[in-house]
Amino acid sequence: MILAAPITYFQAIVLGLLQGVSELFPISSLGHSVILPTLLGWDIHQNDDYFLSFLVATHLATAIVLFIFFWRDWVRILHGLGRSLRDRGIAPDDHDAKLGWLLVVATIPAGILGLLFEHQLRKVFASPEAAAILLMLNGAMLYGAELLRRRAPQTDTDDDVRIAKQVTYTRGFAVGAAQALALFPGFSRSGAAMGGGLIVGLSNKDAARFAFLLATPIIGAAALLKLPQLMGHQGDGVRGQALVGALCSAFTAYLAVRFLMRFFETNRLTPFAIYCAIAGGLSAIVIALQ
């Protein structure tokens, strides 16, 4: 049996930097991690055990950065969840509890679908050709969400209160289910969640905030679930690179979330839709010519 070559430290740095940005920008980290190695001629394949182990570390780093960035929000949300469980109900003015249960309800469909179908879908759609085409479709999805968005009156000054008032449990479930699109390499989890948020009436800023809060448990749980893989024999020869990649990923994830929270105060998903359409189209052409 011929063992695939492990990732070099240079590749780990490039892929780590890319992962941190593309996981939070609505442009599909999985799609980019499939397409970029092919375009650069790297002998790295999405379904190789060592690469999956590497991705576990970079995803875990991204989740930790998100958790730290929204630390104060998570403390309030967890207190709200605790209060509602104690009282066996959610007080009408307890927006932290409402937001907490919205996140739980929205996490269920993506979590269940991910647990059941992630492996099969990754095997079927992990080709760079498919990822490039799906990246174009991701662009269409982002643009479509901007066209279909509902404009609800924004009456509250607090971000979380606005989200808790605007999003019902049914809508939260639908936004969460939309995240499952990210099981296909090329579709973006944050893009699907942000698009869903716009359609249920959130502003770009609130949709991004809800998407990032929603991403934290999903990305973190998926990474923790596969952590034994990185610590086991599948991580042999790649742990150092994974650590370097994780640090790079954490760095760019922090910059990305800071940037995006400001960007979406006044901007829309449209630039990312255009990027995905162009990057996906060009990648498809280059890959076809290779």
- Residues at the contact surface with other proteins, assessed by CB under 8 A: 84-85, 87-90, 104, 108, 111-112, 115-116, 225
Q: Rounded CA gap, 89 and 91, in Å?
A: 6
Q: Choose between 68 and 85: whose C-beta lies nearer to other proteins.
A: 85
Q: How far is the CB of 106 from other proteins (least distance, A)?
A: 12
Q: How far is the CB of 57 from other proteins (least distance, A)?
A: 20
Q: How far is the CB of 83 from other proteins (least distance, A)?
A: 12
Question: Which is nearest to 70 in space by CA: 197, 202, 163?
Answer: 163
Q: How far is the CB of 100 from other proteins (least distance, A)?
A: 12
Q: Choose between 5 and 115: whose C-beta lies nearer to other proteins.
A: 115
Q: Rounded CA gap, 118 and 122, in Å?
A: 6
The answer to whether 122 and 185 are in contact (CB under 8 A) is yes
Residue 263 makes CB contacts below 8 A (sequence gap 6+) with: none
The answer to whether 23 and 257 are in contact (CB under 8 A) is no
| Token couple for 104 | 């739980």
Sort residue 42 into left (φ over 0), alpha (ψ -120 to 50) or beta: beta
Q: How far is the CB of 88 from other proteins (least distance, A)?
A: 3
Q: Rounded CA gap, 207 and 194, in Å?
A: 5
Q: Choose between 154 and 168: whose C-beta lies nearer to other proteins.
A: 168
Look-up of token digits 């922090």: 254
| Token couple for 270 | 């449209």
Q: Choose between 40 and 225: whose C-beta lies nearer to other proteins.
A: 225
Q: How far is the CB of 124 from other proteins (least distance, A)?
A: 17
Q: Choose between 36 and 183: whose C-beta lies nearer to other proteins.
A: 183
Q: Choose between 66 and 113: whose C-beta lies nearer to other proteins.
A: 113
